[in-house]
Amino acid sequence: RNQARSQVMATAERGPLDLSAAPSAKGRRFALVVSSWNSEITNALADGATRVLEQLRADRVDRFDVPGSFELIHGCKVHAESLEYDAVIAIGSVVRGETPHFDFVCQGVTYGIARLNATGKTPVIFCVLTDDTYQQSLDRCGGRLGNKGEEAAVAAVQMAAF
The string over 30-61, giving b where at least 16 C-beta atoms fall within 10 Å of a residue's C-beta and e elsewhere, is: bbbbbbebbeebbbbbbbbbbbbbeebebeeb
The total of other beta-carbon atoms located within 10 Å of residue 108's CB is 14
Helix (H) or strand (E) segment spanning residue 64: strand 60-66
Per annotation, catalytic residue among 101, 104, 133, 135: 101
Separation between Cα atoms, residue 126 and residue 37, nearest integer Å: 16
**DSSP-assigned states of every residue in 111-157:** HHHHHHHHH-SS-EEEEEEEESSHHHHHHHEEETTEEHHHHHHHHHH
Separation between Cα atoms, residue 125 and residue 107, nearest integer Å: 16
Is-catalytic flag, 74? Answer: no
Active site residues: 101
